[in-house]
A and B are shown apart, each in its own frame.
Chain A
Amino acid sequence: MVSNILEVEGLSVDYKTPYQVVHALRDVSFEVGQGEVLSVVGESGCGKSTIALTVSRLLPASNARVKSGSVLFRGKDILRTSKSEMDRIRGTGIFMVFQNPFMSLNPLMKVRDQMLEAIKVRSAKSKIRVVHEHAETEIASILKSVRIGDAEDVMQRYPHQLSGGQNQRVMLAMALAEKPDLLIADEPTTALDVTTQAQVLALLRDIIRDTGMSVVFITHDLVVAASVSDRIAVLYGGMIQEMGPAVQILTAPKHPYTAGLIKSIPSTTKADGPLEAIKGTFKLEGVEKACAFAPRCPLAHDACWKGVPAFIPMGERSVRCLNYGERYEQ
C-alpha cells in the first residue's frame, strides 16, 4: 500500500493588499507519497513559496487567508489542528530549509548549540533521552555526513564565520538530526553560487536516497527540479498547470508554459541563435476568467479566453490546457 505523507486538496490562499485581494493559490491539489520527491516549479510570484508557508503553517496572519482546501499530513488536516499539535508535527514531522541560509541560523548561537537544539527537540518528541556526550558526537558525525570536513571546528563557530554553502549544509544537518517525515526545501540552492549549488544538490539527493524522506522541493529551475525529483508540478498564476513524472515533463512537455520554460534552458551542445524566452510578463488581471497563461501563450486561441481550463488527467500526468480537450472549470 502506498500511503501519502502529504495530501493537499483544493487549496486556495488569498493575500490582502491595500488595493486588492491577490489570489496567490487557486485550487491547488497534489500529494506526496512516502519517500517521494515532488518539485514545485514556477516563476517568481507564482505562489511557490506560499505553498511552503501554508504547509508549514507560517503564513503571515495579518494579510494571508486560506480560503478553502485542506492540507493533510499523515491524514491529519494541519490547517485545522491546534497550536500544540502543530508544535508536535513541526521538526520531526515537517522540517523546512529556507532560501537564505545566513538568515535561518541564529547569528548569536554556535553551530553546535543550534544542532543541540534540534537533537533535544527530537529526543523530547521520541521520548528517547540523549546523553550530552552522545549528542556531541552525533552532531559531529551528522556534520561529517553533510560533507563538512572539519566538523569539530565548524561546531564551535558562529554562522557568520561560515560560507553560504556551509550554512546550508548545517541546515540540512539539522534536518538530518530531526529525521523528519517530510522536508520542505524552499529554493535551498538559490542563494548559493553555481558550484556550491551543485554540491548541495548532490548532497540533498544522497540524503533523500539514504533516509527515504519525502520532500517538497521548491525551485524556479526546471533542470534542478528534474535532477532531484520523482514528479514535477508546474505552477503558474497560482494554479498547477501541469503535473507528472519528472522525466516525462522534461522530455515531452504538454503545457505551452512548460514547453516555453524548457526552450529557454541554455544548451551547451548547439549554438542555434539567440536563447528563446517566454514573451511578456505575468498579468494579474483576468486570471479568474481565463487561462492564466493565455496572454503570453503562443498557441492561445479564442477558447482560451472563455474560462479557466480544467485539469485534464492523461495517464500519469495531468495538464491544464484547452489544446488537450475543451473543458473548463465550473
Chain B
Amino acid sequence: MSYLKSIRKLATRPSSCIGLVIVVAFYGWALVEGILQVAGTFLHVPSLGWVLLPYSPYKPAISNSLLPPSLTHLMGTDDLGRDIWSRVLYAAPTDAMVSILVIAGGIAIGGLIGFPAGYFGKGVDEVNMRVTDLFLAFPALILALTIEATLGRQVVYAIIALVAVWWPSYARLLRGETLKIKNMKFIDSALLSGLPDVAIIGKHVVRYSLNTLTTYATIDLGNTILVYSILSFLGLGVPAPAPEWGTMVASGLEYFPTQWWYSIFPGLVITVVVIGAALLGDGLRDMFAGEL
C-alpha cells in the first residue's frame, strides 16, 4: 500500500481528517515560519521573521494595549499592545522543533535501552529496565524542572530536560514490542540463516515495531508540546521578549478574567494542537490495525 493511498484512506474518517489537517497545518506553518526566522537571523534582517504575520510580534504599541479580539486583532492584544495572533504564529516553530526533537531523542534513547532489553532478556533486561524504573520513579515534571533549572533557561536545555523524562516510556514500549516480536517464527528463521543479533534487531525487530511506534509517537507529539508549555508557563521557557505559548498563558493570568483573551487564546492553540495530534494518532492506530 502506497503512502498516498494510506493518507487518502485516513482522510475518509472525519476525526482523523481533522487531526491530519491540524497537524499538517501546524508543522507546515512552523517549517515555513522557522525557515524565515533562521534566514532573518543569518542575514541580520530580523524582520524577515514576521513578513507573513499581520503585525510584528516584538514591537510594543502601548496605545493598543489589551484590546479585545476584533477583526484587526483576531486574538486581541497583550499588555504591551502586541498582536497575540502574530505572537502565537511566531512561537510555532519553537514548539514544533521541541516536540519533534524530544520525540526523536526519546525514541533514540528508548530504543537503545528497550530493544536490547527485550531481545536479550535476562541480565541486560534487568539492568536496562531498572535504570528505566529509576527515571520513572521521579515525578516527570519535577525532574524536568530540576534539570532545566540547573542547566539554564534555553531551548536546548529544555529539550534535554524533556528527553530525560521522555525516553523511559519509549524504552518500555519498545521492550514490550520486542518481547512480542522475538517469539515470532521469522526471527528464528533469521537467526538460523546466520544473521547476527544486531542485524536482527536492526532489520526485523525495528521494522516490525514501526507501526506501534508511529502511532504512539504521533499521539505523543501533543503531549510534548503540552509539557513544554507547562515548563514555560512555570517560567522556564524561552526568555522574554521572545513569544512562547506557555509563557503567554502565564503572563495573561494577571489580567484574567477581565482581559480573558490574553490567556485563553494561546491556551486554546495548545489545546487544538494536542487534540489534533491525538486524533491523528488514533486514526493511525486504527489504520494499522486494518480497521479503517
On A, residues with C-beta under 8 Å from B are 56, 58, 87-96, 98, 100, 103-109, 117-118, 121, 125, 171, 174, 178
Contact = CB atoms under 8 A, between A and B. Distances in A.
A87 B185 contact: no
Contacts, number: 63
Closest 7 CB pairs of A and B: A91-B194, A103-B185, A104-B189, A90-B194, A96-B192, A121-B194, A106-B186
B188 interface: yes
Interface of B: 184-186, 188-197, 199, 203-204, 207-208
A281 B194 CA distance: 39
Contacts of B186: 103-107
A204 to B, nearest CB: 17
Contacts of A100: 185
Contacts of A94: 192
Contacts of A89: 194
B55 to A, nearest CB: 50
Contact of B193 (A58, A88, A103, A117): A117
A98 B208 CA distance: 20
Contacts of A125: 194
Given A106-B204, A106-B207, A90 B185 contact: no
Nearest to B193: A91
B207 A117 contact: no
B130 to A, nearest CB: 21
Given A103-B185, A106-B186, A106-B208, A121 B193 contact: yes
Nearest to A87: B196
A121 B195 contact: yes
Contact of A95 (B184, B193, B197, B199): B193
Contacts of B192: 56, 58, 90-91, 94-96
Question: Which among B188, B192, B199 has the greatest number of chain A C-beta atoms within 10 A?
Answer: B192
A88 B204 CA distance: 19
16 contacts: A58-B192, A89-B194, A90-B191, A93-B194, A96-B189, A98-B185, A100-B185, A103-B185, A105-B189, A106-B186, A106-B208, A117-B195, A117-B203, A121-B194, A178-B193, A178-B194
B25 to A, nearest CB: 31
A98 B189 contact: yes
A109 B207 contact: yes
Contacts of B191: 58, 90
Nearest to B207: A108
Given A58-B192, A104-B186, 5 more contacts: A90-B192, A105-B186, A106-B208, A108-B207, A109-B204
B124 to A, nearest CB: 13
A169 B65 CA distance: 76
A106 B199 CA distance: 14
Contacts of B185: 98, 100, 103-104
